[in-house]
């Protein structure tokens, strides 16, 4: 899950900036963690504690109400987690990566991803996005090749992963719609050469930078065997102690991220 958190932290400075380059500073004076990190940790907490996803997400949302949630999601938090069937945003996908680490079969991963999504993103697009990202993380950590990942995700979820970033980037604009941001984030991973490159490519789309870097980073962590220690340690410095406690507990239980220099 560090892959998603570092991606969120790096992408935070470039959200809505429309950046169209892989050449940028990873950490700036605008860098912070956002709602992507908060809810990723919330999902991890739910998996660790066995509590239902909805109450845990609401709890974290209330604690970090100013973390960058959309006005619609704030309404969901204030509603106490009333189940919504019409939300098709990428919020279900940005937070789902712990699910890809916590289970040992694809069936379990897909079921848990759906359960984590439906509490706030019950639209089929919201569920599909969460399942696709969780499946990608699961396959990557199990050693599946990129071709196998593409075949499964395209066949199961109908995403077109054959496009290139070079073709997408020039006209791509910010979108929080799952169908218009999750496939592109996955393509950023697919074209990457290492973990950092995946983040740079995701941010270079000029879209929902923190969320797309969180998604690409989540899959890249699993695929490349961890997050570089230098990036992880920088990101740790932005997190609060309560968030770090959950992250460390999750990594200890479900397998530490192998760090490289």
What domain range includes position 226? 2-254
Of the chain, the percentage scoring pLDDT greater than 90 comes to 92
**What's the rounded Cα separation, in Å, for the pair 6 and 110?**
24
Q: Is residue 164 part of a domain?
A: yes
Q: Using one digit for the tens of pLDDT, what is the confidence trace for 223-256?
A: 999 999 999 999 999 999 999 999 999 999 997 5
Q: Is residue 237 part of a domain?
A: yes
120 and 73 Cβ atoms separated by less than 8 Å: yes
**How many domains is the chain partitioned into structurally?**
1
Q: Using one digit for the tens of pLDDT, what is the confidence trace for 97-145?
A: 999 999 999 999 999 999 999 999 999 999 999 999 999 999 999 999 9
Structure tokens at 1: 């899950």
In this predicted structure, the answer to whether residue 259 has a pLDDT above a threshold of 60 is no
Structure tokens at 157: 């979820």
Does the predicted TM-score (pTM) go above 0.85? yes
Residue showing tokens 């079969």: 105
Average pLDDT value for residue range 57-61:
97
In this predicted structure, the answer to whether residue 44 has a pLDDT above a threshold of 80 is yes
239 and 37 Cβ atoms separated by less than 8 Å: yes
In this predicted structure, the answer to whether residue 84 has a pLDDT above a threshold of 90 is no
Q: Is residue 260 part of a domain?
A: no
Structure tokens at 13: 């400075």
Question: Cα–Cα distances in Å, from 64 out to 9, 17, 60, 210, 243?
Answer: 15, 23, 6, 17, 11
In this predicted structure, the answer to whether residue 260 has a pLDDT above a threshold of 60 is no
Q: Is residue 34 part of a domain?
A: yes
DSSP H helices, the chain, are 2-11, 35-49, 53-63, 71-78, 91-94, 97-102, 106-118, 124-141, 146-157, 165-168, 182-190, 195-203, 209-224, 229-236, 241-254
CATH of the domain at 45: 1.10.4080.10
Average pLDDT value for residue range 172-199:
97
β partners of residue 89: 177
Helix (H/G/I), strand (E/B), else coil: 177:
strand
In this predicted structure, the answer to whether residue 261 has a pLDDT above a threshold of 70 is no
In this predicted structure, the answer to whether residue 257 has a pLDDT above a threshold of 90 is no
Q: Is residue 261 part of a domain?
A: no
Q: Name the packing angle between helices 146-157 and 182-190 (round to 10°).
A: 160
In this predicted structure, the answer to whether residue 26 has a pLDDT above a threshold of 50 is yes
Q: Is residue 209 part of a domain?
A: yes
Q: Is residue 86 part of a domain?
A: yes
């Amino acid at each position: 899950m560090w892959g998603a958190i570092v991606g969120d932290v790096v992408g935070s400075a470039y959200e809505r900036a429309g950046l169209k380059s892989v050449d940028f500073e990873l950490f700036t004076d605008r860098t912070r963690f956002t709602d992507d990190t908060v809810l990723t940790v919330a999902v991890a907490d739910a998996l660790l504690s066995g509590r239902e996803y909805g109450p845990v997400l609401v709890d974290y949302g209330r604690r970090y109400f100013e973390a960058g949630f959309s006005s619609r999601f704030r309404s969901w938090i204030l509603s106490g987690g009333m189940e919504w069937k019409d939300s098709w945003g990428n919020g279900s996908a940005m937070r789902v990566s712990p699910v890809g680490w916590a289970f040992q079969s694809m069936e379990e991963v897909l079921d848990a991803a759906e359960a984590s999504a439906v509490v706030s993103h019950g639209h089929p697009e919201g569920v599909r996005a969460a399942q696709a990202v969780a499946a990608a993380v699961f396959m990557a950590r199990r050693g599946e090749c990129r071709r196998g990942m593409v075949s499964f995700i395209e066949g199961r979820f109908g995403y077109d992963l054959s496009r290139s970033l070079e073709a997408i980037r020039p006209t791509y604009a910010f979108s929080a719609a799952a169908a218009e941001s999750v496939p592109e984030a996955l393509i950023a991973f697919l074209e990457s050469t290492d973990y950092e490159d995946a983040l740079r490519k995701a941010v270079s789309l000029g879209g929902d930078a923190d969320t797309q870097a969180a998604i690409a980073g989540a899959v890249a962590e699993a695929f490349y065997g961890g997050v570089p220690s230098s990036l992880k340690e920088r990101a740790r410095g932005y997190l609060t102690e309560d968030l770090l406690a959950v992250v460390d507990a999750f990594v200890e239980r479900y397998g530490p991220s192998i760090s490289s220099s």
